[in-house]
Chain A
Amino acid sequence: MNVRTHIRLDSVSSTNEFMQFLVSMKRPAEGTVISAINQYAGRGQAGRSWHASPGKNISSSFIFYPDFVPARHQFRLNKLFAVSAVHFFRQFLREGNIRIKWPNDLLINGSKAAGMLIRVSTAGDLLRQAILGLGFNISEDQFPGDIPNPVSLCQYADHIPDIPILIGAFQEHLWADYKRLRAGRYPDLDREYTRNLFGMDQALQFTSPETGAFEGVIQGVDEFGRLLIQTGQDITAFQSGTLVFQLTEK
């Protein structure tokens, strides 16, 4: 069993950028995490800023070298990370329903509690490295107006340990699930991802730039990670973040 390193920073622009820098200098051991009490220029999807008050969140980045995963199956990592986050939240939640909003946001009772950003490097047909950057709302109480529907873990938990202990707990979940993937137990992770997918088998309202507003039923994701939505007799595979969907399960 290898020891997993936790590098704690007081303040950094972005833990992902710092991890990338570290990887370029020397190869940190797999499973190493960098966390920051204050991450002042965190990034979300497509360059959207990620707000976090110092000490009230988990802002961290993990490094993996999943060179056993073919590049075309990179979404398996996404599933792994999302499922690990579910395991983490379930460990501390007293009440509330934790769900994965495709592709990898975490919702508690339909409100966003966590987001992640995954950066992988590919050489040829195989992945070489993966940096998982994540933001978990732990005791955050300040949410800027442009973030839709945010929530913190503390609202649904009785007792929450200190942030470094929480990061250690997530690191353990992540490592255990990563070992499952490496041991070829992807089908288990796949089932767990689907089982915890928000809106699965339910009629929801969606909007996309291509189709406008429509109602459909989520059927799961395909092998590339595209969201499958049934409308009438047709099933359409949606890609990327252009799809917007309502966050209330019927």
Chain B
Amino acid sequence: MTVKEIQDLMRLVKKLELSEFKMKDGNFQLSIRSKHFDYAQASKMAPPQVVQVPATPIQPATQGPAAQVPEPAGEQKAPLAKGQKEEEKKEDETGYVEVKSPIVGTFYRSPSPDKPVYVKVGDTIEVGTVVCIVEAMKLFNEIESEVAGKIVKVVVEDASPVEYDQVLFLVDPNG
């Protein structure tokens, strides 16, 4: 990950008023906390998470006879990591991230008819990449992507009218 990508992420975290953003990509881990991050709240929330892990073996014990030995503290991280993976998988299954039109207007894939399209299927885009223009009343609006990933589908035909919130592109954030 480049410094610019991290800066873009920081901007996005700020803009979306997220309190915290965490990501993991192979060995690379990143955590961004904004001014909205509540340290007091976080420290209150943290203990239950720790408690939850040893709690899981106890629950089945009440349901079935096969009593399980609480896992050693060193392995506490394992179930957490597994849970995270499952979450990521779910994202894959629920589909892709949608890039929507913020306005009513006419959708254009290129800056002008004689110029190449901004993006096409298979292109890798970054946060802030211009993906199209939506024109309304002589006002040309360059739409920037808020997600990084790969374009998997261009939903709207070039030069056709679009409504507010209409899906324009599908992006695979893991692509």
Contact = CB atoms under 8 A, between A and B. Distances in A.
Interface of A: 45, 47, 70-72, 74-75, 77-78, 102-104, 116-126, 128, 224-226, 239-241
A124 B146 contact: yes
B141 A74 contact: yes
B142 A121 contact: yes
B55 interface: no
B104 to A, nearest CB: 6
Interface string B28-55: 0000000000000000000000000000
Given A124-B15, A124-B102, A240-B106, A47 B138 contact: no
A103 B138 CA distance: 7
A72 B143 CA distance: 12
Chain A CB within 10 Å, residue with most, of B103, B135, B139, B144: B139
21 contacts: A74-B136, A74-B139, A75-B136, A77-B139, A102-B137, A103-B139, A104-B138, A117-B138, A118-B140, A119-B142, A121-B144, A122-B143, A123-B15, A123-B128, A123-B144, A124-B102, A224-B136, A225-B136, A239-B105, A240-B136, A240-B138
B146 to A, nearest CB: 5
Contacts of A124: 15-16, 102, 146
Contacts of A75: 136-137, 139
B137 A225 contact: yes
B103 A118 contact: no
Interface residues of B, number: 24
Chain A interface, >50% SS class: mixed
A120 B135 contact: no
A206 to B, nearest CB: 16
Contact of A224 (B103, B135, B138, B144): B103
Contacts of A77: 139
Contacts of A104: 138
Interface of B: 15-16, 102-106, 112-113, 128, 130, 135-144, 146, 161, 164
A106 B143 CA distance: 28
A240 B112 contact: no
Contacts of B138: 45, 78, 103-104, 116-118, 240-241
B136 to A, nearest CB: 7
A71 B164 CA distance: 10
Contacts of B16: 124
Nearest to B104: A224
Counting from the closest, the 4 A-B pairs by CB-CB distance are A71-B102, A103-B137, A225-B137, A123-B144
A226 B137 CA distance: 7
Given A74-B141, A75-B136, A128-B144, A122 B112 contact: no
Contact of A120 (B104, B106, B140, B164): B140
Contacts of A121: 130, 141-144
A26 B25 CA distance: 31
Contacts of A47: 112-113
A120 B137 contact: no
Nearest to A128: B144
B15 A240 contact: no
Contacts of B141: 71, 74, 119-122
B89 to A, nearest CB: 27
B26 to A, nearest CB: 28
Contacts of B137: 75, 78, 102-103, 224-226, 239-240
Contacts of A126: 15
Given A47-B112, A72-B164, A120-B142, 16 more contacts: A47-B113, A74-B141, A75-B137, A77-B139, A103-B137, A117-B138, A119-B141, A120-B139, A121-B142, A122-B141, A122-B142, A123-B144, A126-B15, A240-B105, A240-B137, A240-B138
Nearest to B113: A47
A186 to B, nearest CB: 16
